[in-house]
Structure 1
Amino acid sequence: MADKKDIVLYFSPHQDDELLTMGVDICKTCLLPNKEVHIVLCTDGSKSPARQRLNSNKICQIHHQIHNYNLSEEEFIKARDCEFIASCTAMGIPLENIHIYEKRAVDGSLSVEYAKEIIKHFVSIYGKDVEIRTIAPFRFGRYQHEDHYNLGLAAKALLKERFFKKSKFFIESYHYPKGKRKFVLSLFFNMQKEEISDEIRSKIERVIQQSYTCWKPEEKRYAIGYHCVTDIFEYYKNNIASYSIKSRLIK
C-alpha cells in the first residue's frame, strides 16, 4: 500500500492570486512526494476592469491594437477560469485537484462567513488533518481587497476554532515588506521569506507566460490577468519571492 500523503489545500480568492501570491509555494509543494496539493477558487473574478479594456474599442497600451471583443460576463469568467487552470496545471497541480467551487461568490462579495463555508466544505471532504494555505489577512497599513482580507480572516478564525490544525498565510507580492515593517512582521508574526531555487524561478516565469500573459484571441486567450494588473505582474516578474506566516495548533 502506498504511503498516505499529507493534503495541502490552497484557497485563492481570484484567478491569478494563486500565482502572484502563492505560486512559489505551490510549485515547491507540488515537487514533494509526500504532499497532495489541491486548490480552490472562491470567486468568479467577474468584476475585473480587464473586461472593459478588452471591450473598449480603444488601442491597448500593451498590444498596440484595438481591443473590441465584446465579451459577455459569462464569456469573461470562462476565459478567466481558463487562465486559472492553465496556471495551476503549469505549476504542477493535477487537473482533478483544481476545484472551481460550484457556489463560488461573485467577485467583490466574499464575506468572512461565506469564506468559512467554502473552507469547511473542503475540510469536510478531505479531513481535519489537511493544511490550509491562503492569503494573510493583514493590511499592513495598505489597501487589501475585501475578498482577500475576508478569506484570510475566515481561515484564521477556523484555525482558532480548531476546525483544522495547520495553516500558512501568504503576503501579496505588492505588499512585500521592507525596512522597519519587515523587521516587525518577522519578529511578531514569524514571517519568513522562502528560499527560491533557479528551477522554481524559471518555472514561475514559464507559468506566467503560459497563463496570465498568454495572448491568443483566436483561441479565446485574452491575457486577462495581465490586462487587469499589469503593474503587479511586471513587479512580480522582477521580484519573484514568497513571504509567509505559519501557524499551527498543537493538541
Structure 2
Amino acid sequence: MLGTNVVLNFTLLKEDIIEFSSSIFANLLEYLRDTVEHLILAILIYILICILLYLCIQVWGFMEFNREPNNARRILFVISHCDDECMFFGPTILHFTKKEECSVYIVCLSTGRNYGMGSIRKNELYKACTVLGVPSENIFIHSHTLLPDAMDVRWPTEVISSLVLRYVESLDITTLVTFDRYGVSYHNNHCSIYYAVANLILDNVLPKSCTVYVLDTTNIIRKYWFFLDIPLSIVFSRFRFMGGLEGRTTIYNAMKQHSSQLKWFRRLYMYFSRYVLINTLQQMNLIDVELDLEIQD
C-alpha cells in the first residue's frame, strides 16, 4: 500500500511539474509574440514618420531641414583621400556650392601615390568636384611622403596643422569643415586631421573669423539607415544638411568619377549610407578639444 501511494504521489507531482512547465512555456511564447508584434508595429510607425518627414521636407516644403552655421561664406573642406568629398561630405558641399554668395574650397591631403595611384586619383577628384560644383582652381591636393594613404598610419599633427593653417589664412576661410575624432569610419588618416585642427584651436592660432565644424560619426546602425536617420538628425543635431533625391543622384554621379575606387562594397555604401543623403555637424570648442586630447594621450 505504501509503495502504491509513493508511486501515485510521484505521478501526480510529475504531472503538476509538466503542467506548470507547459504553463510557463505558453506564457513565455505569448509574451514573446506580443513583444515582437509591438516591435514590428513600432518599426512600421517609425518608418512611416520618416517617410512623412521626408515628404514634408523634400516634396511638400512644409519643413526646413537644413541648418547652416552663421557667417558661412568661405568654406574649406579638409579631407584625407580623393573620394572623401563624395562618400562623406556630399550633402554639405552641395548645399554651399548652390549658394552664389559662398565660395567652397577643398584640400585633400593624400593621393594614393604610395601605392601607385597618385595621378589617377588626382584626376578623379577634379572630375568629381566638377560634378559637385567646386571649381578646379578651388581644389588643392597634396602628396606628402609623411601623409600616405594607409589605414594603419596616424599622420603627424605638425605637418597637417601647418598645411591647414596656411590655407585658412591665405584663403580667408570663415568656415572649416572636417572629420570628428572618430573619422566616420575610424580611419587613422581621417582622425589625424581632427587632432591636427584640435591643436590649432588649443594653441589659439586660427583666425578669430574662422569657425571649425566636424562631421558627426554615428553608430553602425544609423550609418546605414539612409532616410530613416532623419528624425534622429533633427533631434540631436543643430547643424544639418540634406541633399534629397536630386542631391543624392548628383553625389552618386560624382562618386562615379572615382572609377578606380568603385568596388562593390563602395557601391553598396553609396546606396545605403546616410552620409550620401544627410550630414550633421558639430562645432568644435575649446572644452571638447581639451577633453579629446586628454583621451588621446
Q: Is the TM-score greater than 0.5?
A: yes
Q: Which runs of 5+ in 2 are unaligned?
A: 1-71, 287-297
Within the alignment, does 1:197 sit opposite 2:244 as a pair?
yes
- Whole-Å Cα distance in 2 between the matches of residues 149 and 117 of structure 1? 16
Choose which of 206, 210, 213 in structure 2 pairs with 1:163: 206
Residue number in structure 2 paired with 1:89: 130
Superposed, 1:32-181 pairs within 5 Å as 32-46=99-113, 73-74=115-116, 76-101=117-142, 103=144, 105-108=147-150, 109=153, 110-127=155-172, 129-138=173-182, 144-160=186-202, 161=204, 163-164=206-207, 165-171=210-216, 176-177=222-223
* Cα drift, residue 173 of structure 1: 8.3
Which AA in structure 1 matches 2:165?
A: K
Sort the Cα spacing of 1:102 and 1:44 in 2 relative to 1 into closer, same or farther, 3 A: closer
Using the aligned pairs only, state the percent identity: 17
Relative contact order higher in (CA < 8 Å, ≥ 6 apart): 1
Q: Which runs of 4+ in 1 moved over 6 A?
A: none
> TM-score scaled to structure 1, two decimals?
0.67
Which string of whole-angstrom CA distances, capped at 9 and with x for unpartnered residues, describes residues 132-190 of structure 1?
111111268xx6111100102222332342514312212468854579xx979x65xx4
Q: Which runs of 5+ in 1 are unaligned?
A: 48-72, 213-222
Identify the structure with the greater helix proportion: 2
Superposed, 1:213-228 pairs within 5 Å as 223-227=259-263
Sort the Cα spacing of 1:191 and 1:151 in 2 relative to 1 into closer, same or farther, 3 A: farther
* Cα drift, residue 89 of structure 1: 1.2
Residue number in structure 2 paired with 1:246: 282
Identify the structure with the greater strand proportion: 1
Aligned CA-pair RMSD: 3.3
* Cα drift, residue 7 of structure 1: 1.1
Asked whether the equivalents of residues 110 and 143 of structure 2 are also in contact (C-alpha less than 8 Å), the reply is no
Give the number of the structure whose alpha-carbon radius of gyration is greater.
2
**Number of residue pairs matched?**
200
> TM-score scaled to structure 2, two decimals?
0.58
* Cα drift, residue 225 of structure 1: 1.4
- Whole-Å Cα distance in 2 between the matches of residues 157 and 89 of structure 1? 32
